Structure 1
Amino acid sequence: MGSLILMLVGLAMFAGGYLLYSKFLARRVYKLDENFKTPAHELSDGVDYVPTNKYILWGHHFTSVAGAAPIVGPAIAVIWGWLPAFLWVTIGTVFFAGMHDFGALWASARNKGRSIGALSARYIGKRGANLFLIVIFLLLLMVIAAFAVVIKNLLISTPTAVIPTWGAIGVALLVGVAVYRLRWPLIPITVVGVVLLYALIVLGDRVPVVLPESFLGMTPATFWIVALFVYGAIASLLPVWVLLQPRDYINGVQLFVGLILLFGSVLLATLFSATKPEIVAPAFNMNLPEGTPSLVPLLFVTIACGAISGFHGMVSSGTSSKQLDKETDSRFVGYFGAVGEGLLSLGTILAVIGGFKTATEWNEMYSSFGAGGVEAFVKGGGALMQNGIGLPASLSATVLATMAVLFAATTMDTGMRLLRFVIQEMGDVVKLRISKFPATLIVVVVGIGLTFSQGLGGEGGLRIWPLFGTTNQLMASLTLSIIAVMLIRKRRNPVYALVPLIFVFITSFWAAINQLTSFADPANPDWLLLALDVIIIVASVWVAVEAILAMRRAQLEPPEPIDADARLSAVREQV
């Protein structure tokens, strides 16, 4: 099968999901009400609660949830073959991720912008919710520490990405002022912002920045990690309109330009190039390298972002719900945000299975489990762009590396803001009020402490990362259980949440048990990961039981009073 056919099938599935399934969810399941007063208006404070244009909010939401994960996950998972990865990305995006992200945004907006932790306390029970706050804390800590290491590695390995990475901050500040203070039209601002960003990419390609072995008394690796945490702390404290929203919005538009270049390269190379972008990877890899785990259940936790991810629910309920201008915008922001990430995962799959010249070259890249990743994406995608649209290999690599860095950075600063919220919620549990400044300081200290725990090169940032996949997916099942309880209370059909809930919980719990046995290997035990995995498993079982009991109670209790959205839906159905 050629890359073009695979691309067209994937694009058709995403288009159908947004045009058909998301519209069904909006009308029949969530019953959105454009007159509902969202938390952004009810609790507006100009810092976290800010009514936002849906296109700008989509950019923030999409780039916050995307990060490097929809690149890394699929680029590793194709080792089992391209077909399982393709099916999970497309089906998972349409029926799992879209429903989950859309639902988390709706659920939080209906509860004054409360986070998943607070929602679990209300709808599942305080016993499980308090324990799961620890899991949420660990998940966010994994994200900010690991992404700091990913960005550091890219800035060192691809020095041409340094100028556009940091220059994007200046572009974002200008966009924020133009939109919120000068009130200029969005379209010309967008065009100018994207042009400036790509001008920085061209400049960076010509002027690579390589730090000396000692810079301000630090190695390049140490300096970049410290700089990233300082930036993340400042970004997480600023009002969202100053940097977070405009940066994420411009990054989102930039990603779509990058995806158009990537997909366009596949199309043009197929139609006009003598070297067609044929798929050199196997559909099912029957010659897996030694030590590769089984496809089931590991595929479903290796590809999280890009199919379904618990981190998305945390972003939806942590920041996006506080900026939702109208409830009806949640379909575009939530569901189409998931589709955008699915498109990035699809582009990654095309790059790593069709960007290599021969099967031998592909097998060399995937010589062991965990190989590939961002390196395979940049190399394969760069080759596709060079072949399809004639973009020089160096510039292609800069475009793709900058894309990966910018998304990882937006996820990192959003993760730090969310972790600050979680620390404040944990303080509330023990009756200790923690303001945003000390909470942010705790985030920075703990994050840097973990990242440097095994050396100043940042090796500790990936210390607990092996737990991310299972923890992340178990978080997704928690979010889906909250959505299911809300639907049952409103006497709506919960099956659209229950089906992905059951599937995700079984596969992620199975994966967590498999990891438990590997961490407890007598020949090479890892006591830290073993202890954390036990905590995650116990918390998951606890919350699962609490969720089942909550659903049962919701069935037996009287239905919630008919609210505005239900009345509106009834009128529409009568008409």
Structure 2
Amino acid sequence: MGSLIIMLIGLAMFVGGYLLYSKYLGRKVFRLSDGFKTPSHEMHDGVDYVPTNKYILWGHHFTSVAGAAPIVGPAIAIIWGWLPALLWVTIGTIFFAGMHDLGTLWASVRNKGRSIGALSSRYIGKRGANLFLIVIFLLLLMVIAAFAVVIKNLLISTPTAVIPTWGAIVVALLVGLCVYRLRIPLIPVTVVGVVALYSLIVLGSAVPVVLPESTLGMSPATFWIVALFVYGAIASLLPVWVLLQPRDYINGVQLFIGLILLFGSVLTATLFSAVKPELVAPAVNMNVPDGTPSMVPLLFVTIACGAISGFHGMVASGTSSKQLDKETDARFVGYFGAVGEGLLSLGTILAIIGGIKSTAAWQEIYSAFGEGGVDAFVQGGGALMENGLGLPASLSATVLATMAVLFAATTMDTGMRLLRFVIQEIGETVKLRISNIPATLLVVVLGLGLTFSQGLGGEGGLRIWPLFGTTNQLMASLSLSIIAVILIRKQRNPAPAMIPLAFVFVMSFWAAIDQLISFATPGTADWLLFAIDVIIIIASIWVAVEAVLAMRRAYKEPPEAPDADEKVAASRENI
């Protein structure tokens, strides 16, 4: 019953967080109002600013922020035991990620859809904002390069996922056409789209695609990486309704079906199967392999997406805020988007601790820190589905691998769109206007340059990935500082932002210092990562100091006059 109890506790906590805490944030802290004219209406352009049904926008937001990270992070962190991972995923999602994601979405919507980098200029100051852009730029570059490698690896290791991965693009284009041009109701389009996607998964399971040694003169690894960057560039330039929204929406629906299958497998295997899913991982692992870093602070940066992630703030303020139809939709899109990630991380934990066949097999997988990852999730989740639902192991593995690939792909193409925005913002700071196509080409050149910097197999894509966790969490704390400044200026309670801000900043800064020491260790020194880590640490300290000064000024300045809609929201608690 162990896996089932863990699942029920996790689900109950997420439901309680959304029904109670998110409602408190929406009513008392952010005072969301239907009377506020959102940027999607005020600045409608049919490309980036498009009023969007909240369910479609939730799908875009959730799958863009999810990627493979809420799978990879918990799958690696289980090396310290399932209990610490479970506590950080649940508590982090409810009180940290939900606040951060909803807060950055609200802050951007209230400021004409400006990105979190642009907001830092207004609320913290230009000096801090310029350094903030450096952190954002590095983080996005890490994401698009690393996720290209993750997807490439999955397409090669799981060739049954190739057809559904690329076929999903066609499905998404047709969904966008049906919803936005033919005006067909969303529910029948959703049903047909999901059936088509799962038909592709069945077809892919029956017809695996393995590339020959040379395709257009490139190895399979090189070809897939180039193809992914070409796709990402095109997707990032198209109007959001053509591909970005429908693709992410269908992926979001597909995720929930996948989670229902996974959670249902735990239930049926526990109650009805002759082979019960046993907890093969210890609650707290006191016998970690040699070389494993301390759980504190590394747990809190290893599990980022699925607890709290700075990347979410970039998506919320970069694309989602420009598509929000009504401000009150922010609670569903932002907070419930974070809950979706928490559910995926919970599913990952259950797949690994209940799907791996034995403690010996688990110990073999986790023989060194950094092991596990997506492969452990696919292996454990596939075994759970086979045991609980009777699905063939190959089909179960294809479902989970496709789910991981599609999430990573949506994060990659959204990351490319966001990096294009950042490059354009950097251009504006030096009085240089960069249009969409040149900015996108620069994104492709930089991304491919990093990915192929150590070989055509894409080894360079993971070159600076060890810095992702700390950079991502420092980014989250800096975004929370902006939310705190805004709340102080509006004379609202900043504690829901200040408490996670303090905790996340301390843990991520501590981890950055630990990494800095390890990068300079004789015999294993990595001076490139050392130099980048120094830049990130200096920039983070500078922005943090600027944020503290901005908070002090905010307490001393007269409060901002509330808008008319805010007065209504405050009096009627309209949500």
Q: State TM-score, norm by structure 1.
A: 0.99
User: Is this contact kept in 2: 1:118–1:129, CA < 8 A?
Assistant: yes
Alpha-carbon distance in structure 2 between the residues aligned to 1:286 and 1:36: 53
Amino acid at match of 2:376: A
User: Is this contact kept in 1: 2:261–2:385, CA < 8 A?
Assistant: yes
Point out 4+ residue stretches in structure 1 off by more than 4 angstroms: none
1:106 aligns with 2:106: yes
Larger deviation: 518-527 or 49-58?
518-527
Residue of structure 1 equivalent to 2:274: 274
Aligned length: 574
Deviations 1:209-263 (A, max 9, x none): 0000111100000000000000000000000000000000000000000000000
Alpha-carbon distance in structure 2 between the residues aligned to 1:279 and 1:293: 24
Alignment of 1:67-78 (within 5 A): 67-78=67-78
Residue of structure 2 equivalent to 1:264: 264
Alignment of 1:44-443 (within 5 A): 44-443=44-443
SS in 1 for 2:457: coil
Residue of structure 2 equivalent to 1:17: 17
How far residue 564 of structure 1 moved from its aligned partner, in angstroms, is: 2.4
Amino acid at match of 2:510: W
Amino acid at match of 1:302: T
Residue of structure 2 equivalent to 1:538: 538
Residue of structure 2 equivalent to 1:563: 563
Deviations 1:68-126 (A, max 9, x none): 00000000000000000000000000000001000000000000000011000100111
Alpha-carbon distance in structure 1 between the residues aligned to 2:86 and 2:108: 31
Residue of structure 2 equivalent to 1:504: 504
Amino acid at match of 2:305: C
User: Is this contact kept in 2: 1:164–1:197, CA < 8 A?
Assistant: yes
Question: Would the alpha carbon gap of residues 555 and 160 (structure 1) be closer, same or farther in structure 2, given more than 3 Å must change?
Answer: same
SS in 2 for 1:479: helix
SS in 1 for 2:562: coil
Amino acid at match of 2:360: T
Larger deviation: 522-531 or 541-550?
522-531
Amino acid at match of 1:209: V
User: Is this contact kept in 1: 2:520–2:526, CA < 8 A?
Assistant: yes
Larger deviation: 357-366 or 191-200?
357-366
Deviations 1:148-180 (A, max 9, x none): 000000000000000000000000000000000
Amino acid at match of 1:551: M
Alpha-carbon RMSD: 0.8
User: Is this contact kept in 2: 1:93–1:306, CA < 8 A?
Assistant: yes
Amino acid at match of 1:36: F
How far residue 573 of structure 1 moved from its aligned partner, in angstroms, is: 6.0
How far residue 524 of structure 1 moved from its aligned partner, in angstroms, is: 2.5
Alpha-carbon distance in structure 1 between the residues aligned to 2:565 and 2:277: 49
Question: Would the alpha carbon gap of residues 184 and 573 (structure 1) be closer, same or farther in structure 2, given more than 3 Å must change?
Answer: closer
How far residue 461 of structure 1 moved from its aligned partner, in angstroms, is: 0.2
Amino acid at match of 1:321: S
Alpha-carbon distance in structure 2 between the residues aligned to 1:311 and 1:131: 16
Amino acid at match of 1:402: T
Alpha-carbon distance in structure 2 between the residues aligned to 1:283 and 1:124: 42
User: Is this contact kept in 2: 1:31–1:565, CA < 8 A?
Assistant: no
Deviations 1:512-539 (A, max 9, x none): 0000001111223211101100000001
Deviations 1:116-156 (A, max 9, x none): 11000100111011012111111000000000000000000
SS in 2 for 1:379: helix
Alignment of 1:453-468 (within 5 A): 453-468=453-468
User: Is this contact kept in 2: 1:61–1:248, CA < 8 A?
Assistant: yes
| Same amino acid, percent of matched pairs | 83
User: Is this contact kept in 2: 1:33–1:564, CA < 8 A?
Assistant: no
User: Unpaired runs of 5+ in structure 1?
Assistant: none
User: Is this contact kept in 1: 2:28–2:573, CA < 8 A?
Assistant: no
